[in-house]
Chain A
Amino acid sequence: MRFERRAHRPLILVLLAPVFALGAALAIAGVLIMLAGAPVAEAFGQILNGAFGSRLGISETLTRATPLIFTGLAAAVAFRARLWNIGGEGQFYMGAIAAAALASGAIAGWPPLIAIPGAMFAGALAGTVTLLLPLGLRLRFGVDEVVTSLLLNFVALLFVSMLIEGPLKDPLAFGWPQSVPVSEGAELPKLLARTRLHAGLLIALAAALLVHFVQSRTRFGMQSRAAGLNAAAARFAGVPLGMTLIKVACMSGGLAGLAGAIEVMGVKGYVTTDLSPGYGYAGIIVAMLANLHPIGVVAAALFVAVMFVGADSMSRVMDIPSYIADVTVALSLLTMLLSLFFTQYRISR
């Protein structure tokens, strides 16, 4: 059996790829649920019910999707330019702590119109700096940024842990390691009363549109795409590779940092070391499921959020660990890789 590259990539296949991938991942998840001895149909029903069955469920799903859109965009933007930013998790935490530090200290008490953008900017900046380090090592020493950005996730988390047990510790938290809370002026307004859904969702959607515009219509977008697809040709055409990667890193790290900042400002109000249930890593999956397309990221983030929220509520009702959501989502990454492969190749003998 051999694979032959398709001359044309049929649009229908490209559109069906994620459908097939999700179907296959859910089918395998079904088998795992069956092995756990639970009724599969009922389990999936509970997942859907948990995610969509109530006003609260829907608002929870959207709340969860918000940081995933950001981390998904962060990964998609970077991967497009062949910058393997696997450090989304660390950038998320650095963004969160920077926003919290600023919003509880320097600009506490400022009006929201300044405090909110200020804290968001601080978060984006912190995320960017966290990514510029591995990128710098790549440009300067030729170090593969995959491993360094991964390792930095652990460093970032320890750093945050150090801050919230030290200088940024909330003295009123009865000794729990959590950061000082964000001041009221920097809290994002709620979209729905009595839910956790906040204006961050709108910012995320705007970010997706903005990224799409930048990638498809601007000089920088075209250059970064060229750099990712064929670095030698891009260099020959005069694309400044290093500078382009740095700009891409600013976008990618900034988006991941924003994810953390907005999570703090919109949902929790303070930073703990379990602020993220792996949003940074899930962002990679979101980006791949979206085939790196910024608008697709929104849809993929919703899927992942549905799985997480739904599985949580299912595991409360049935005897199946909520980890099934993580398994399904990870599986969907692998099945998506395979489906994408078949949009590019066909089997020949």
Chain B
Amino acid sequence: MTASPVLDLRNITKRFGDTLANDDVSVSLAKGEVLALLGENGAGKTTLMSILFGHYTPDAGTVHVEGRELPPGKPRAAIRAGVGMVHQHFSLATNLTVLENVMTGTESLLRLRSDTRAARARLDDVSQRFGLVVDPDARVGDLSVGEQQRVEILKALYNDARILILDEPTAVLTNIEAEKLFRILRDMARQGLSLIFISHKLHEVLAAADRIVVLRGGKAVAERRAADTSKEELAELMVGRRVERPRREAATPGETVLEARNVSLSGSKGLSHVNFALRAGETLGIIGVSGNGQTALAHLASGLVRHEEGDLILFGNPVGKASVRAFIEAGVGRIPEDRNAEGAVGDMTIWENAILERIWSPTFSRHGLIDRAAARRFAAEIIKAFDVRGGAPDKRIRLLSGGNMQKLILGRNLHEQTKLLVAAQPTRGLDEGAIASVHTRILDARKKGAGVLLISEDLDEVIQLADRIQAIVKGRLSPPVAADQADARMLGLMMAGDWDKAGHVAGRGTHEI
């Protein structure tokens, strides 16, 4: 860092209610540099970048771009100063075209006519220069996730961004697509752009960044040059202590609990001719990039939707119609992929959330009347047995932290003997401590003889927990590979849909079902 920084965040502090999201954080960025902001979920990375971009006003601290202080809380000022942001959840309008999305806000609102022709030429120019090609007249909703991300980047470049911020840019990409993205980003840096990307993936920051700033609990705890550090050091800096994730022990699988034969489900994110078999006491991991049919698969295995073609066999019986009640009564436990949207009714109490999906059980209701005492008892037991901190049966579930809410969801599913556990993205958004405890519970269920269908986008998680792994790509499932024989490269090929090649790599690891 010889030259003066193009971007300087000085002593940023931001408080939300009782939590300190950013605590006196200072970060600077040099021209042509790629900086990674590494941290766990909730470490304050996104808050910091939102302050830089003016989405939030900081409680203290200043942002300087090329030596000039930015007025706080003004995205427009940040854009004008040359800051561009690529959001994790794209800020695109799916009903509008690429060109319209890119043009929004670039002209004075008082102009009597949009200069579409000039905008088109300029967009063309920018996309040529950086090798980001998209059809300007395509409706954004019709594009793939990867293409949408390109539009999101183009939007920033179109605005003459000289500093580009990317929030978890690889969350929605396969590792092959991610490598390609990082090549493009490096190329941008060579052309003089300065970049910050947010990530919690160690290998990614080591491979793509020049310098790494580690955030933990809202503080910037360390800064390392990528060349001078290691995965181990970064992991410890990020988590703050050594957290051992539990390990999978060998187990002998029993009878098949859930089997899909040529199962199809229509819809843009449906399933097509899916085959798998899951036995008691084993974990089948389903990996894949977000949006490839995971939701449909999870819903299918949770009894929410019915397949349209093929056979789905649960505990030896073909599934006739979708019935959550029948699935639960048969012994299926379900962890939804989105805790807040599907796993809990935030404004209902913990005891109500604990029994809602078991409300038909004679333990909790008779003749249509709820036995509130029994329900409260049940909730109290879960809170105790699963260490749900800050929980009391009559408290609204909204007040629990993500990890504790997940423990409650696990608890209501595993409290009784579960024969099949469908776990969709069970640790999404959790910190390391909570991840370890969720993993322990899942392994525990497997040990007790449950079959576990683990649907996850986190490769490390699947490799650690699963016995066998299948990849889901555009609603289709790859043949399974044994987890012992899988490595990152092979799984990458599988997730890209290149099953033959992956099969070669795996060699004899693939076995038919």
Interface residues of A (CB under 8 A from B): 4, 7-8, 217-220, 222-223, 225-226, 229-230, 232-239, 349
Contact = CB atoms under 8 A, between A and B. Distances in A.
Contacts of B336: 233, 236
B370 interface: yes
Interface string B355-374: 01101100001001110100
A239 B304 CA distance: 10
30 contacts: A4-B16, A4-B17, A217-B370, A217-B372, A218-B369, A218-B370, A219-B359, A219-B368, A219-B369, A222-B356, A222-B359, A223-B359, A226-B345, A226-B356, A230-B345, A230-B347, A232-B341, A233-B336, A233-B341, A233-B343, A233-B344, A233-B345, A234-B345, A234-B356, A235-B342, A238-B323, A238-B324, A238-B325, A239-B356, A349-B57
Interface residues on B, range: 20 to 34
B303 interface: yes
Main SS at interface, chain A: helix
B336 to A, nearest CB: 5
Nearest to B364: A219
Contacts of A238: 303, 323-325, 328, 357
B399 to A, nearest CB: 6
A234 B341 CA distance: 10
A230 B357 contact: no
A220 B360 CA distance: 11
A235 B328 CA distance: 13
A229 B345 CA distance: 7
B31 interface: no
B342 A232 contact: yes
Contact of B356 (A220, A237, A349): A237
Contacts of A218: 368-370
A223 B336 CA distance: 19
Given A218-B368, A218-B369, A223-B359, A236 B347 contact: no
B5 interface: no
Contact of A229 (B342, B343, B348, B369): B348
B421 to A, nearest CB: 15
B304 A235 contact: yes
Contacts of A236: 302, 304, 324, 334, 336, 342-343, 357
Nearest to B334: A236
A232 B357 CA distance: 13
Interface string B365-401: 1001110100000000000000000000000000100
A88 B347 CA distance: 27
A236 B304 CA distance: 7
B352 interface: yes
B346 interface: yes
A11 to B, nearest CB: 13
Given A218-B368, A238-B323, A238-B328, 17 more contacts: A4-B17, A217-B370, A219-B368, A219-B369, A219-B370, A222-B356, A222-B359, A223-B356, A223-B359, A226-B345, A226-B348, A229-B347, A232-B342, A233-B343, A236-B302, A236-B324, A238-B324
B362 to A, nearest CB: 12
Contacts of A226: 345, 348, 352, 356
Given A4-B17, A233-B344, A222 B352 contact: yes
Interface string B119-162: 00000000000000000000000000000000000000000000
A223 B345 CA distance: 11
Interface string B322-333: 011100100000
B323 A225 contact: no
Interface string B29-58: 000000000000000000000000000010
A219 B345 contact: no
Interface in B295-310: 302-304
B346 A229 contact: yes
A4 B345 CA distance: 20
Residue in B302, B303, B334, B342 with the greatest tally of chain A CB atoms within 10 Å: B342
B359 A230 contact: no
A346 to B, nearest CB: 10
B357 to A, nearest CB: 4
Residue in B303, B328, B348 with the greatest tally of chain A CB atoms within 10 Å: B348
A223 B368 CA distance: 11
A13 to B, nearest CB: 15
B359 A233 contact: no
A222 B336 CA distance: 20
Interface in B392-439: 399
A237 B336 CA distance: 10
Interface in B50-77: 57
B357 A7 contact: no
Nearest to B323: A238
Nearest to B371: A217
Nearest to B343: A233
Contacts of A223: 356, 359
A4 B18 CA distance: 11
A44 B346 CA distance: 43
A160 to B, nearest CB: 36
A274 B272 CA distance: 60
A222 B342 contact: no
Contacts of A229: 345-348
A239 B348 CA distance: 15
A219 B371 CA distance: 10
A237 B324 contact: yes
Contacts of A7: 17, 399
Contacts of B342: 232-233, 235-236
A230 B348 CA distance: 10
A118 B63 CA distance: 74
A238 B329 CA distance: 11
B391 to A, nearest CB: 14
B210 to A, nearest CB: 37
A234 B357 CA distance: 8
Nearest to B365: A219
Contacts of A225: 348
A205 B459 CA distance: 60
B31 to A, nearest CB: 35
Contacts of B304: 235-236
A229 B360 CA distance: 20
A197 to B, nearest CB: 34
Residue in B323, B356, B372 with the greatest tally of chain A CB atoms within 10 Å: B356
List the 5 closest pairs (A to B, CB-CB), nearest first. Answer: A238-B324, A237-B357, A236-B342, A237-B356, A230-B345
Given A236-B324, A236-B357, A230 B346 contact: yes
B205 to A, nearest CB: 33
Contacts of B328: 238
A81 to B, nearest CB: 13
Contacts of B347: 229-230
Nearest to A213: B369
Contacts of B343: 233, 236
Residue in A7, A223, A230, A235 with the greatest tally of chain B CB atoms within 10 Å: A230
Nearest to B328: A238
Interface in B175-194: none
A70 B116 CA distance: 58
A349 B16 CA distance: 11
A305 to B, nearest CB: 31
A7 B346 CA distance: 12
A23 B474 CA distance: 59
Residue in A4, A223, A232, A238 with the greatest tally of chain B CB atoms within 10 Å: A238
Nearest to A218: B368
A217 B369 contact: yes
